[in-house]
Structure 1
Amino acid sequence: MSTQGDDVDYGVKEGFAFGISIVAAALLFVAGIVAVFQGISALANDDLFVIGTEYVYKFDLTTWGWIHLIIGILAILVAGGLAVGADWARISAIIIASISIIAQFLWLPYYPIWAILIIALDLVVIWAVATWKPSNIA
């Protein structure tokens, strides 16, 4: 048997969860925009990036540019689906954010602070999307 207090608590939790999903969509959108800019920068001007020592997982900057550009565009599209509450967007957001984390980890030797920032955004997106339960909203 539920009481009125339980109903209010349930509504607050679901409202908070819905707010988290909107924040996740916004963060995924921002991470996607940054990845697009990162890709465009790598494609347009190879001199912009500082290249350090040799690493095992090395691509040329044009390849990295295309990788970041594609991931960024996909993240923006998934963020749009997440914002309108599409079912496919939740799993897609987790997949795109996970792929982005892997790409940023491999990008660490080139620009570590930039990569760590995007990894942090992607982790928040994964947490927010994974904790939201849209099936409980009436």
Structure 2
Amino acid sequence: MSEESLVKKGVAKGTSMGGAVLLVTVGALEFLQGISAIAKDDVIVVGVEYTYKFDVTAWGWFHLVLGVIVAAVGIALFTGATWARVGAMVLCAVSIFVNFLWLPYYPLWAITIIALNAVVIWAVATWNPDEA
């Protein structure tokens, strides 16, 4: 096995482990976002009439539960299990969709989570644990 091949595999594994860390971070941010919405913090914009309007408390519980699930899959992703990789990509896609709908309520937070999810999807999709 060539030195260049070993370096590529190491970078892929490191990127995926970074993706797992980011996934746990995304889960924690989703969790905190849920708590913020449930507590009806002043940082959440309510009362603005958008095309779609959702109950902020219900969204808070949804983000809270999603955050716990995302963090749990992120922890499982450290093992490199196939189900965790697929689950991470699916949950990141769901999280991107949910945060897109959440944009009117807290745009900066939602955009940050969307960007982190995109990086996680890329990292998990490019890593092949069988080659590492």
Q: TM-score, normalised by structure 1?
A: 0.90
Q: Are the equivalent residues in 2 in contact too, given 1:46–1:61 (CA < 8 A)?
A: no
Specify the SS of the correspondent of 1:99: helix
CA-CA distance at 1:53 after TM superposition: 2.7
Residue segments in structure 1 that go unaligned for 5+ positions in a row: 1-5
Q: Are the equivalent residues in 1 in contact too, given 2:40–2:57 (CA < 8 A)?
A: no
CA-CA distance at 1:44 after TM superposition: 2.0
Superposition CA RMSD, Å: 1.4
**Counterpart position of 2:100:** 105
Q: TM-score, normalised by structure 2?
A: 0.93
CA-CA distance at 1:46 after TM superposition: 5.1
Separation in structure 1 between the aligned mates of residue 41 and residue 107 of structure 2, nearest angstrom: 17
**Counterpart position of 1:53:** 48
Separation in structure 2 between the aligned mates of residue 111 and residue 41 of structure 1, nearest angstrom: 10
Separation in structure 1 between the aligned mates of residue 121 and residue 43 of structure 2, nearest angstrom: 30
Q: Are the equivalent residues in 2 in contact too, given 1:104–1:115 (CA < 8 A)?
A: yes
Q: Is the helix fraction higher in 1 or 2?
A: 1
Pair 1:109–1:52, CA change in 2 (3 A): farther
Count of residue correspondences = 132
Residue segments in structure 2 that go unaligned for 5+ positions in a row: none
Specify the SS of the correspondent of 1:135: coil
Segments of 4+ moved more than 6 angstroms: none
